[in-house]
Amino acid sequence: MPAVDFFDQSLGDFSEELEVAKEDGKRAILIIFEMDECPFCDRMKKTVLNQSEVHAYYKEHFKIYSVDIEGDVEIADFQGNPVSEKDFSAKQYRLRATPVFLFFDLQGKPIKRARFTGATNGPDEFILLGRYVVEGIYKQMSFTRFKRQQRSQ
């Protein structure tokens, strides 16, 4: 399954994407911040985002979009303000490294504990990250602690 199919087609307006996510009964929006020639982004696409179980889980629970942290394409942020992808990434979320997986609640607010930087160890850990958000575990503990608990069970 190609990793490109993992992403939803963006309207270019995250305030509209919020409404679509609510209408579709999604739990959150996931934005994957990436850039061209990022080896970790490439690894995630080739080893995790192309896995059928990852597709199935994430498509069920999230709207998923990609933002190029070096991009000049104009988009609208969660408040509907026009901004380049580059400024959206750097100025609003202080992102410089990639990939960054950042989940947003249905009000367009980042779920602070559900920010994962770098490539995951594989599909199982990435699904665990999704569960961390879907099940609301981020409200009680860090992802690192949640992973440790899951390993010890």
Task: List, for residues 62-118, the tens digit of each pLDDT value.
Answer: 999 999 999 999 999 999 999 999 999 999 999 989 999 999 999 999 998 899 999
- Give 12's contacts (C-beta < 8 A, 6+ positions apart): 73, 74, 75, 76
Are 115 and 100 spatial neighbours (Cβ–Cβ below 8 Å)? yes
Are 58 and 64 spatial neighbours (Cβ–Cβ below 8 Å)? yes
Are 68 and 95 spatial neighbours (Cβ–Cβ below 8 Å)? no
Model pTM score? 0.94
